[in-house]
Amino acid sequence: MVTRTNSTARLLGVTASALTLAAGATALPSDPAQAADTITAADQPYFAYYHLDQARAKGYTGQGVTIAILDGEVDTSAPELAGADITDKSPCTVTSSVQSKEHGTDVASVLVARDYGIAPQAKLLTYRVSYTYAGDTAGADCKVPDGNDKDDMPSLINTAINDGAQIISLSLTSTSSGNPSKWAIARAMTRGVIVVAGAGNQGKNQGGESYDRWSGVVGVSAIDVDGNRQDYSSWGEGVVSAAVGGPITVRNLETKQNEQAFGTSFATPLVAGSLALARQKWPQATTNQLLQLLIHTGTNPDHTWNKYTGYGGVAPGAMVNTDPSQYPDENPLAVKEGGSSPTPDEVKQYTDGVVSPFEIAYDNSYTYRGLDENMIGDSRNPYPTHLGTSPRYHGK
């Protein structure tokens, strides 16, 4: 792991080769595989569990939906990803270690692999994170004077929103808890972009170690194909949903053999992909209604919430068969269990343009409309500035 002063991250899927780097998860090598074995739907128990063959037969493939992942490099030459619509949109030079590249490729495959991805016709934008495993490196072009480096999590979230992502999937934990993260999430909430984040593999209450702690974020824990919560899966007030975390068949890029892996890294894209299927089926639904749909179709009895599986396992079949227009256009995650940030008032601070520009990272839609005259002419302020024009100063 590489620790940075303002942000660290840890990937949430563990293969046998990564076991020493991510405590609390389990992984087992599968029987020795031939070097060129292509992974298929038959190798992925979640494919049958979620009846994804039926979803495809009905045309539910995520077509027309744009998903972003913030992860290691995706190896688009992997045979499983042949024909997938994947574009690397990393804003600066990041070189992934072999382990990060394996992880990014695995997560992308769960989403858009033509044979077994949950949303194989979604458009996937990928952004490389440089501080997950030892060996990841960031180029000098990632560094900026104000400290909001281009490869930091809040910067990448905003960059993905700039690029048109409708759903952002984060299969990593992060201690990036400062204001840039808060305002990036506030922006996602106001722009109708759904952020999905894994709870972690430490088998404990993660507290502030995952992006699921933020308001509006769909926190994901792991279950097995019998619907049982997995011991390695972390939990907490930020958990909203759960999905199969393994076994997932993945390829070891060093040995060229297939292995079985477990982790909320894989549960996370399954929830993100389910939301993509629902977005495709219900294009007129608001983001708030899709989040309501996720909650109201969760598999817990009466869709009640608990800190281990949120509202229960995700049910993509129910999501495409249940009209979300019956639900209120209100964000059900605006205030999470026990309280969360950004609060509704903080979200309004963002929309009113009174947040300091120094706390905003790569948001191409932001205009400062507050009263701080020092923002005029400050070379550190890259945003349009219109003093005193915030709606809060001119309300009735």
Which DSSP string do the residues of 309-361 spell out, in sequence order? TBT-B--HHHHHHS-GGGS-SS-TTSS-TT--SS-HHHHHHHHTT-S-GGG--
pLDDT for residue 261 = 96
Q: Of residues 261 and 172, which shows the higher confidence score?
A: 261
pLDDT for residue 27 = 44
pLDDT for residue 208 = 66
CA 183 to chain centre: 16
Share of the chain above pLDDT 70, in %: 89
Q: Cβ distance 61 to 281 under 8 Å?
A: no
pLDDT category at 22 given cuts 50, 70, 90 is very low
pLDDT for residue 34 = 46
Share of the chain above pLDDT 90, in %: 80
Per-residue pLDDT, averaged over 76-104, amounts to 95
pLDDT category at 116 given cuts 50, 70, 90 is very high
Token duo for residue 238: 């930020």
Q: Cβ distance 313 to 46 under 8 Å?
A: no
Per-residue pLDDT, averaged over 260-287, amounts to 97
pLDDT for residue 7 = 35
Asked if residue 285 has pLDDT above 70, the reply is: yes
The tens digit of pLDDT for each residue in 323-375 reads 999 999 999 999 998 889 999 999 999 999 999 999 999 999 999 999 999 99
Per-residue pLDDT, averaged over 18-39, amounts to 45
CB neighbours (10 Å) of residue 255?
14
pLDDT for residue 177 = 56
9-326: CATH topology is Rossmann fold (3.40.50)
Task: Spell out the residues 6+ positions from residue 17 whose beta carbon is closer than 8 angstroms to its own.
Answer: 99, 102, 252, 254, 255, 259
Integer angstrom CA distances of residue 93 from 143, 161, 392: 10, 19, 40
Q: Of residues 35 and 230, which shows the higher confidence score?
A: 230
Lowest mean pLDDT among 12-21, 68-77, 92-101, 246-255: 12-21
The tens digit of pLDDT for each residue in 172-224 reads 876 555 789 999 999 999 999 999 999 999 998 876 678 999 999 999 999 99
Across all residues in the chain, what is the average pLDDT? Answer: 89
pLDDT for residue 209 = 72
Q: Cβ distance 113 to 122 under 8 Å?
A: no
Task: Spell out the residues 6+ positions from residue 163 whose beta carbon is closer than 8 angstroms to its own.
Answer: 68, 89, 125
Asked if residue 15 has pLDDT above 60, the reply is: no
User: Left if phi > 0, otherwise alpha if psi is -120 to 50, otherwise beta: which for 236?
Assistant: left
Asked if residue 300 has pLDDT above 90, the reply is: yes
pLDDT category at 396 given cuts 50, 70, 90 is low
Coil, strand, or helix at residue 189?
A: helix
Kindly report the pTM of this predicted structure.
0.92
